[in-house]
Amino acid sequence: MLVLVTGVTGNLGLYLIESLSSRGHKVRGLGRSPDKLTEEQRLKLESFVKIQNYWNVDALDRACNGVDAVICAYAGTPPIWLLTGGLTEVYFSVPGYGNFSPAYNGLWDPENKTVDIWGTGYEKWDLTTEKDAAEFSAAVIERDDATEGGFWELYSGAYLPCELAKIYKEVRGIEITFKERGSLDDLRKLAYSMREQKPYNDYYGFIGLFY
């Protein structure tokens, strides 16, 4: 298949190049500049279409022309997402992978080594690595029923906060402190309240609560 990857120069897009090309698919990239790609990555592309912004319709039309499938790998803004959820690298604020700290209503504070807990602390967290997200996306478009559409729930693993803290200590040798924030109902009320208060283009101010 010829697969268009929008946002191909991003963290997830780079994994999609590898995942799709390793499966024998041709990959067309859509992004602001191919300069962000290595020469090896550029050679794996059928072509690269430059786009100035999300609403650059001419570029989108050119990019979509003749492709068999599209995987959207830029911002998870409806209705353009294929796969959404907690990417592990973002969840734990790995350098270069965004900020999901309490400053953005996230859970993990990498500086103080604390985790905000909503609920009992015994609810499992579904987490997905970017590499697995790319593999899952490639597998979905290869399904015989892919053209029928639908939703798939996919994740790399599910962990209790205490399990994650144990793994972190084993790997980094650092104790994690839990900060109890309230019940799941408290979280739900806060999330919807902040969504109503903030403008849509400021969704980073509340999206962490929904994750």
Angle ∠(163,19,45) on CA atoms, nearest 5: 145
d(CA 38, CA 180): 44
Fold adopted by 2-82+129-148: Rossmann fold (3.40.50)
Per the model's pLDDT, the better-predicted residue between 41 and 149 turns out to be 41
Q: Determine the average pLDDT of the residues in 40-52.
A: 96
d(CA 191, CA 93): 21
Q: Determine the average pLDDT of the residues in 106-120.
A: 89
Please name the residue ranges forming H helices in 23-142: 39-43, 57-64, 88-91, 130-141
CB atoms within 10 A of CB 33: 10
DSSP classification of residue 128: B
In this prediction, residue 88 carries a pLDDT of 55
Residue pLDDT, tens place only, 13-36: 999 999 999 999 999 999 999 999
Band (pLDDT 50/70/90 cuts) for residue 193 is: very high
126 pLDDT above the threshold of 90: no
Instruction: For the chain, give the percent of residues with pLDDT over 90.
Output: 58
List the chain domain ranges: 2-82+129-148, 88-123+160-210
In this prediction, residue 97 carries a pLDDT of 57
Lowest mean pLDDT among 72-86, 110-124, 185-199: 72-86
CB 142 within 8 A of CB 24: no
CB atoms within 10 A of CB 11: 19
Q: Determine the average pLDDT of the residues in 148-155.
A: 85
In this prediction, residue 78 carries a pLDDT of 47
